[in-house]
Structure 1
Amino acid sequence: MSKQQYRSEMGIMGDILDVTMDGGQSGVIVSAISRKANLSHYAVLDKCEKLINAGLMQSERRDRNRLFRITGKGLDFIQEFQKFQNLIESMNLRY
C-alpha cells in the first residue's frame, strides 16, 4: 500500500483556478468547483474567498447561485503557476 499524496494549499488553489478558467466568462457555481477540484463545499468557499481577496477571482450573485470567474490577474497567475508545476515535476519534486 502506497502512502497517499496530499495536495498543498497552492495545489488546491491552482485546481480551483483551473476549474474557473475552464468555466470561461459564464462563471462556475460552487458545486461544480467542489466536484471537479475534489473539495468540500465549505473548503471551496474558503479558498475562493482568499482568491477573491488576492484579485485572482471575482464572484457574482445570479438568482440563487453564486458564480465565480477568473480575472485577468488570475489568468496571468495560473500561466506562471503551470510553468512552475512543470519545472517541479521535471525535477521530480513535491510542492
Structure 2
Amino acid sequence: MGIMGDILNVTADGGREGIIVSAISRKANLSHYAVLDKCEKLVEAGLVESVKNDRNRVFQITEKGLQFFQEFKRFQGLVESMNLRY
C-alpha cells in the first residue's frame, strides 16, 4: 500500500498534464519495471489513467484516485498517531 500511495502522490503532483514513468520512478525511488507494474494495477482499479502523449506514455491520477489518495493519507495519519506500523 505504501508503494501505491507513493505513486499516487507523484501522479497527483503531475497534475492534468500527467507524468512519465521515468519521473515516477525517480521521485518514488522505484525501478522502472516496478513502476510500470504498479501503474498497470492502478489503471485497472480506475485510480490512474494512461495516456499516449507524443512519443511518451504518461500517467494521470483520476478523480477516483484523488479521493482514494486523500482517504489513504488520512489513514496514514491515524496509524502514525497511534504509533502503529503498517
More helix by share: 2
Which residue pairs with 1:89 in the alignment? 80
- The aligned runs of 1:1-95 (5 Å cut-off) are 10-95=1-86
Gapped regions of structure 1 (runs ≥ 5): 1-9
Deviations 1:40-90 (A, max 9, x none): 000000000000000000001112210000000000000000000000000
TM-score by structure 2 length? 0.98
Runs of 4+ with >2 A deviation: none
TM-score under structure 1 length normalisation: 0.89
C-alpha RMSD of the superposition: 0.5
Task: Give, in whole Å, the separation in 1 of the partners of 2:79 and 2:39.
Answer: 25
CA distance in 1 between partners of 2:57 and 2:18 (Å): 9
Percent of matched pairs sharing the same residue: 76
Which structure's CA Rg is the greater one?
A: 1
Question: Shift in Å at residue 94 of structure 1?
Answer: 1.1
What runs of 5+ residues in structure 2 fail to find an aligned partner? none
Aligned-partner residue type, residue 77 of structure 1: F
